[in-house]
Every structure is written in C-alpha cells, then in structure tokens.
Amino acid sequence: MKITDIQSCIIGREEPHSGGCVWTFVRVYTDAGIVGTGECNSAAAGASGFAVKAAIEAMKPTLIGHDPMDTGPLYELLRRRGRYGGTSAAPLIFAITGIENALYDITGKALGVPVYRLLGGKYRDKIRLYADLHAGEEETPEAYAEKAAEVVGQEGYSAVKFDVDHTGVGKLDPWNWTVGAKEMSHVIALIRATREAIGFDVDLAIDCHGQFDVPSAITLAKAVEDLRLMWLEEPVPAENVDALAQVKASTSTVICSGENQYTRFEFLELLQRQAVDVIMPDLSKAGGIMEGKRIAELADAFYVPMAPHNVSSPLGMMAACHVCASVPNFFVLEFHGREIPWWNDLCEGDKPFIRDGYMHLSERPGIGVELNDEVAKSLLWRGDRYFD
Ligand SMILES: [Mg+2]
C-alpha cells in the first residue's frame, strides 16, 4: 500500500464559551482505496488553522509513495527532516499530529482492528470525562454553584472544571498578572461555592489559563488547599517551567499543566523539574497517537497521571480515547463540546459518543469515527475548500 495524496481542510464555528472549535482535518489517500482521517487542533481558531494547513501541504511530497503503515518511521521522518525548521514545535507539530493520526486510521482499517490494538491493547473500555463548564454571563459564586450542581445532577459527570481567570471582578491592571485582594477574594469565593454545591463526591478542577504571576498563584493554591481540588491548572504561564515548579513546591494543592507543551521532550522537562503533579497534553497537538502514548508512559515512570486537555471534535476525541485506553496512568479526559449544538452531528460513529460522563471506546477498525461530509461541508471555515 502506498500514499497517493494528502489533503486538509478547516471546519468549525466560533461558538460562545467553546474556546477552540475550529479544527484542521487531514485526509491521507492510498492506492488501496483506504482513506484515513486525522484531526489536529488549531487552538483559538482560524489563523493557526491556515498555518497548519500550509504545513500539511508542505509535508506532502515527503510522504507520497511511502507505505502509510510505517507510522513510526514516517513520524520521525517528518519531525527529523524539519527539525531545524521547528518541526518539534507549534504549529508544525500540529500538522504532524494530524497526519500521524490519519496514518493510524489507515493502519487500523487495513488490519481490521481499532487503533488501541495497535498500541498494545486496552486497560479500559470507557474513558472517564470531566465537563468543562462556564457559569454564563454572571461570574458569581452563585452562578458557578448552580451550573456545577445542574450539570452533575443531570448529566452524571464525576468531575467538572471551571475557569477563574478574567472573572471581571477586581482586576487592577490589564497587563500585569498580579491578583489583588478583591480579585483574589472573588476567585476563592467562586471555587469555594462550587465545591460546596457539588460536595466531595465529585472532582473539581480549576483553570487559571496561565494568567497569574508566581506570588498570586501561590496565594491562590494555598488558600484552596482544604477544597481538595482535582487540580489547579496552569497557575502561571507555560513558558517558565521553574516558576511552575516553585508554585508546586509551595502547596499541597495538585498542580496540572501541559496543554502548551509538545512531544516527549517538553514533557520530560516538566517531569524532571518536578513542575507538575498531573500532566495534560493536548493529544490533538502534542505529536500524535504514539507520541501521546510515549508522553503518558514517561509520566508513569514518574508516578504522574495523565489527564489530557481536549477541545476536539468527536473524531479527534476518539483518537485521544485510544491513547487513554492504552496506558495505565490515564486519569480523566476533558470534554469541551457540551455547548456546541452541532458537535455530535459533525461525525458518524457509535452514538451517542458520550453517555453518563464517559466516552465509550470504539471497536470499529481505525479511529472508529468519520466526518459526516454533508455537515462538515456546511461548517467550512472562512471559505475553505472541502476534500475532493
Ligand atoms: Mg486549560
């Protein structure tokens, strides 16, 4: 079997509170008639989406004529050949991730097995999720508590997450990352009200989006120690690993980071410097299905769990689920699509994809989820062209 063509297109809409729901999809075509589809996350919409699309186009000549089942060598070929041009860094690693996912989809289809079989089998049949929640227009403790209780009660999630950056209360300066007394009191009140609403039977994570400086992050982490968070996420920006390690060393609150780190090498740094208690690679960006497994196993050697960041479509999320199923130290996976009305409709597969707070692992060959061409065409991003 040989690769004959590679195409990509960008699909999505900017929905309220959805963060990134604009995704780049890659299709790899073969002379055997098998087509594989992979997804790579384009983060906050279009600009990086078109950069990723251009990168995929530039990588195409390197891949044409190769056996698509050489997933490992082809991944390293793309990464090493372009190393001096940044192929281990964003956004080029996003492009490689999408291509690698499509190659795994082809390999699974050719062998008639789900992707997790290619990764050594599964530790679990269903993947525990946490719901990413937003209170709505009002960033009040009451609104956070009400939303948390409503979603846990009606949808059966065993874990939820809220953001506490940009609450609009007490911010003194738009550029510095210092949290003054008024803002800090408000943030702590939001977290405390949420915990009181859901009790200690449900896990609670809090995301800071790297918006706080070190003293503010330490103050917050210590102030909520008794609330036993599942984690405090990106309490400081992602670029300085030593600063994050300083926050972690200061507190018993669990510290999580990694959605802005890519490949095993950047996670090795996070782990060796003891900067995190939990890692959260975005498996649609971090390098690919096998690179995601490598990252998880690296963390496992440090006795650190993996709780992937995820804002993907059902296709990218199922690809992540194959990785989550295949490693012992999987903890919980993010679900970010609750408020996207067309999230389920975009893809075909074993529906409903999500039931009672879990995503159920596909047993179909390959990734096990396909784009619904009609729906996807109706959601093309900024005039982009669909696959041939
Ligand atoms: Mg986050």
Mapped onto helix, strand or coil, the DSSP state of residue 272 is helix
Q: What is the pLDDT of residue 373?
A: 97
Between the CA of 209 and the centroid of ligand 1 the distance, in Å, is 5
Which residue pairs, CB below 8 angstroms and at least 24 apart, start in 108-113? 108/365, 108/366, 108/367, 109/34, 109/36, 109/365, 109/366, 110/1, 110/32, 110/34, 110/69, 111/365, 112/365, 113/365
Between the CA of 208 and the centroid of ligand 1 the distance, in Å, is 7
Whether 16 has a pLDDT exceeding 90, the answer reads no
Between the CA of 164 and the centroid of ligand 1 the distance, in Å, is 11
The rounded distance, in Å, linking the Cα atoms of 193 and 201 is: 15
Q: What is the pLDDT of residue 42?
A: 67
Share of the chain above pLDDT 90, in %: 88
Mean pLDDT for the stretch of residues 237-250: 97
Between the CA of 81 and the centroid of ligand 1 the distance, in Å, is 31
Domains, the chain, ranges and CATH?
A: 3-114+372-378 (3.30.390.10), 118-365 (3.20.20.120)
Q: What share of the chain is helix, strand, coil (3-state, %, to 5)?
A: 40, 20, 45
Q: What is the pLDDT of residue 53?
A: 93
Whether 194 has a pLDDT exceeding 60, the answer reads yes
Residues with Cβ within 8 Å of 159's Cβ and at least 6 positions away in sequence, in order, are: 128, 129, 130, 131, 202, 203, 204, 205, 230, 332, 357
Query: Which pLDDT tens digit goes with each residue over 333-367?
Result: 999 999 999 999 999 999 999 999 999 999 999 99
The rounded Cα 364 to chain-centroid distance in angstroms is 22
Least confident piece of the model among 94-98, 241-245, 379-383: 379-383
pLDDT band at 45 (very low <50, low <70, confident <90, very high): low
Burial class (CB in 10 A: 0-12, 13-18, 19+), 274: middle
Query: Which pLDDT tens digit goes with each residue over 147-186?
Result: 999 999 999 999 999 999 988 899 989 899 999 999 999 9
Between the CA of 301 and the centroid of ligand 1 the distance, in Å, is 24
Mean pLDDT for the chain?
A: 95
Q: What is the pLDDT of residue 20?
A: 61
Q: What is the pLDDT of residue 161?
A: 98
Q: Token pair for residue 37?
A: 């589809």
Between the CA of 162 and the centroid of ligand 1 the distance, in Å, is 10
Packed helices 71-81 and 289-301: angle between N→C axes, nearest 10 degrees: 90
Mean pLDDT for the stretch of residues 213-218: 98
Whether 224 has a pLDDT exceeding 80, the answer reads yes
Between the CA of 163 and the centroid of ligand 1 the distance, in Å, is 8
Q: What is the pLDDT of residue 138?
A: 85
Between the CA of 207 and the centroid of ligand 1 the distance, in Å, is 5
Mapped onto helix, strand or coil, the DSSP state of residue 13 is coil
The residue ranges of DSSP E strands in 250-306, in sequence order, are: 255-257, 278-279
Q: Among the ranges 21-25, 320-324, 338-342, which has the highest mean pLDDT value? A: 320-324
Between the CA of 258 and the centroid of ligand 1 the distance, in Å, is 9
Between the CA of 233 and the centroid of ligand 1 the distance, in Å, is 6
Query: Which pLDDT tens digit goes with each residue over 281-295?
Result: 999 999 999 999 999
Are the CB atoms for 265 and 79 separated by under 8 Å? no
Query: Which pLDDT tens digit goes with each residue over 83-139?
Result: 888 888 888 999 999 999 999 999 999 999 999 999 999 999 999 999 999 988 888
Q: Which residue has the tokens 């103050």?
A: 219
Q: What is the pLDDT of residue 168?
A: 84
Q: What is the pLDDT of residue 207?
A: 98
The rounded distance, in Å, linking the Cα atoms of 281 and 69 is: 25
Q: What is the pLDDT of residue 113?
A: 98
Mean pLDDT for the stretch of residues 43-68: 87
Whether 275 has a pLDDT exceeding 60, the answer reads yes
The rounded distance, in Å, linking the Cα atoms of 25 and 5 is: 14
Are the CB atoms for 203 and 130 separated by under 8 Å? yes
Share of the chain above pLDDT 70, in %: 97
Query: Which pLDDT tens digit goes with each residue over 298-317?
Result: 999 999 999 999 999 999 99
Between the CA of 181 and the centroid of ligand 1 the distance, in Å, is 24
Q: What is the pLDDT of residue 244?
A: 98
22-30 vs 3-12, strand pairing mode? antiparallel
